Structure 1
């Protein structure tokens, strides 16, 4: 049937993309799963069907779930890149593809918990106003802060804020920055741990901006706007969300503009990068462009940040992999025998080990 043939072409394409993202050749993958290379070429072309055993072997070798290979791949909301091919096969393209694979698998994991009835996920928040400029992006961030009761206070946990906004965030060790998508009423995002903490928070805020404002195919930014211009609007949203201009209003006193140490305190309290704090200070008109450029080369040391915080360690996106509600849902699903112990550990993405779970209870599902 034509429909079946199209499904096999799709599955073959996802095998090919996963293979390229791993940086392995057809011959290497074929050897790893016990197939002839010509057979694998036919699989990738969609002209040869797979049985369950072959599919499982491919998924294991490619480090993806069988569901990822079988299910249609949703359109990525914020991380659209050129299609990975043999001609565009670079380290950056591979990293991008692996991040999108992680995003799709994360969507499936969240959907499983929703389907089991242990995780509630309502419609995500959407900014009701028009967004066609960076100023509009900042207005959207102020709206979200108002909606979530933040005012101008620092965001304690960006993962929690994303959850409250209807976006489920996974923190991953994969290289890259972040990506997000929306499937129906389910919104998910992945954020890489690579880079310093301020950058991770900015990435998470950026992905949240894509959700709150919407993508380029459904907003006032429009398809005629360049991708760079659209991303600049989202960056303005993220900066205003993390460190509101109004929070910096008191930085200028009768004695003049703030000192560098005073701005370090703002960056430390709001846990932003130094460059973001400087850009927001200039936006708030408490420093001028000349000062911003000069101070951008005088980045604070870790000791200066800790001194500003009174030497109190601050959490970031390295320690937490999933949001609290998601973690609670995983534990609830395991305690009620809806998932196996192994699946519970898998769903926690390294935040739990087998030793962290209580002793196995009678009647638990077999692995």
Structure 2
């Protein structure tokens, strides 16, 4: 019955009728209806065909849904499961499979911190988070996805279109975050910092539709503040902004371009951070928000351009663990390519040594 219910759910998400799906997989419509109702068993070959047609992996139909996602779906009955939810489901399963064979993938997980209830507590949590990530007070959080992997949060990026910004699921050890790579790099990094906040306060599941939204309130607003403080530490920003904004040879726009490049943030995040720590007034913050960095700025100011979490992006430690499993022949090449989500081709996988002759004869004799 559970498999049948998942077939019905996946078919509905795909927007096809029973008749259409039945025709494409070579079943009678009545047979498919019985499968979905749980009154008929589904053969393995049939399930593979259904999974292929509906764009799901077979284990999605037969394995238990991660508890946090199952709880979320029960709370949103009648609402279509979004793309980010579906992808998170698959990533959680993959991460749990890989970590079961390579527990060293998650080497450390911080203690659980209380939810910040004030902006001041959000700032304090950000200072603690930067320390956990090994950042000095004046150090920009470059390569944030690598840093958070060091404390057990595996961040993936996929282009999910104009949907949610990010989602996070807490695992038994560590966690998985999925960032919507459809957005620009500054927004992707802000979303990553925001999901780090959810991870540190041990929210079992979070699905964030728009980080730093003007209407955000409660815990989301405080985690937005946390995220900005992680990316733009106040003491360092104050010192650098004083230097950049008082340079007689440059304008406010030039200072904003330098700051956004140095900290790898978008202008909306920078302007809001400058305003909330009192470095600019509302009018100047609005001016900064409208600034666009041009190619001429990059050349003339000799800026370094990074494109962190451009989709598809996987944690390096996760990639290394998958390749380790492939070298050990724990997984096949097809399974490795699936786990690596199309970022590898079969020729780019490691070359495995040929089996010893004695082993070959043992298999073939």
1:118 CA displacement: 6.3
Please tell me the root mean square deviation across aligned C-alpha atoms, in Å: 3.2
Identify if the C-alpha distance between structure 1 residues 18 and 301 changes in structure 2 by more than 3 Å, giving closer, same or farther. farther
1:324 CA displacement: 1.6
Q: Which runs of 5+ in 2 are unaligned?
A: 207-214, 361-365
Counterpart of 1:4 in structure 2 is: none
1:116 to 101, 104, 107: 101
Hey, what's the Cα distance between the residues in 2 that align with 1:31 and 1:19? Answer: 13
Matched, 1:71 2:63: yes
> Match of 1:188, SS?
strand
- Aligned 8 A contact 1:122 1:185 in 2: no
Counterpart of 1:184 in structure 2 is: 172
Matched, 1:231 2:220: yes
1:194 CA displacement: 0.3
Matched, 1:252 2:245: no
Hey, what's the Cα distance between the residues in 2 that align with 1:196 and 1:256? Answer: 29
> Match of 1:189, SS?
strand
Alignment of 1:120-269 (within 5 A): 120-122=105-107, 124-152=109-137, 153-175=139-161, 176=163, 177-215=165-203, 228-250=217-239, 251-252=241-242, 259-269=252-262
| Most deviating of 18-27 and 205-214 | 18-27
Hey, what's the Cα distance between the residues in 1 that align with 2:314 and 2:304? Answer: 23
> Match of 1:35, SS?
coil
1:356 to 342, 348, 354: 348
Identify if the C-alpha distance between structure 1 residues 307 and 144 changes in structure 2 by more than 3 Å, giving closer, same or farther. farther
Q: What TM-score do you get using the length of structure 2 for normalisation?
A: 0.82
Residues 310-343 of structure 1, C-alpha deviations (whole Å, 9 max, x = no match) = 1533232116621121111111111111111222
Hey, what's the Cα distance between the residues in 1 that align with 2:63 and 2:192? Answer: 26
Alignment of 1:278-357 (within 5 A): 278-305=271-298, 307-308=300-301, 310-318=302-310, 321-357=313-349
**Max radius of gyration: which structure?**
2
- Aligned 8 A contact 2:166 2:180 in 1: yes
- Aligned 8 A contact 1:33 1:54 in 2: yes
> Match of 2:286, SS?
helix
1:32 CA displacement: 2.2
Q: Which runs of 5+ in 1 are unaligned?
A: 1-7, 219-225
Identify if the C-alpha distance between structure 1 residues 135 and 58 changes in structure 2 by more than 3 Å, giving closer, same or farther. farther
Hey, what's the Cα distance between the residues in 1 that align with 2:110 and 2:245? Answer: 42
- Aligned 8 A contact 1:191 1:204 in 2: yes
1:305 CA displacement: 4.8
1:191 CA displacement: 1.4
Residues 81-138 of structure 1, C-alpha deviations (whole Å, 9 max, x = no match) = 77474xx5xxxx5xx6222121111111122222223643245324534522343223
> Match of 1:54, SS?
helix
